[in-house]
Amino acid sequence: MIEWIGLLAGALTSTSFFPQAIKVIRTKQLSSISLVMYINFTFGVALWIFYGFYLHSLSVFICNTITLIPASVILCLKVRETVQSKRMKRDSN
Amino acid sequence: MIEWIGLLAGALTSTSFFPQAIKVIRTKQLSSISLVMYINFTFGVALWIFYGFYLHSLSVFICNTITLIPASVILCLKVRETVQSKRMKRDSN
């Protein structure tokens, strides 16, 4: 029973980033997204993947690989938005 | 060595939500935040806490308890914003 709870927890936390990625892709609106959060989170998830791979823990490896996909999409879009807004500020000066 | 990577991964992913919580509290701007993400994620983290408590896994329990704090703050603020914007739409009709 408890393993089912662990699997459900993993499924929920891993897939929860997909709605956020879809929302920012559709709306192109990232103003309230934190760049610092997604840098830390994406790097942490990458470390979890290495950790799971090293310890042959399939659940840690798979859950975090699923999470890495939407999280890195959001990170790339946020980095692009940040670079673009800085460039516009510089050009307007 | 590998345990240090696990601890670093846990620290990064657990604390990464604090900058996002601080940003939305300061800016009061949640338009690009996904409500569906934070409902799923917060529920998933709560399950992880139960899972860690049940299996006496201190690292799972602590990491997810730390994550639950900012994640539930963001969820509450997003629910409030959603309720308020629905009320305004209804009043304007």
One digit per residue, pLDDT tens: chain B, 93 residues? 888 888 899 899 999 999 999 999 999 999 999 999 999 999 999 999 999 899 888 888 888 999 999 999 999 999 999 999 988 888 887
Whether A48 sits inside 8 A of B13 (CB atoms) is: yes
* Nearest CA-CA distance, residue A46 and chain B, Å: 8
Cβ atoms of A54 and B2 closer than 8 Å:
yes
Determine the CATH number of domain A2-92.
Answer: 1.20.1280.290
CA A27-A31-A36 angle, to 5 degrees, is 120
Q: Do residues A15 and B40 lie in contact, with contact meaning Cβ atoms separated by under 8 Å?
A: yes
pLDDT at A15: 94
Decide if the complex's ipTM is over 0.90: no
A53: closest chain B residue by CA: B2
Nearest CA in chain A to B27: A32
Is the Cβ–Cβ distance between A73 and B28 less than 8 Å? no
Q: Among A13, A32, A44, whose Cβ lies nearest the Cβ of B30?
A: A32
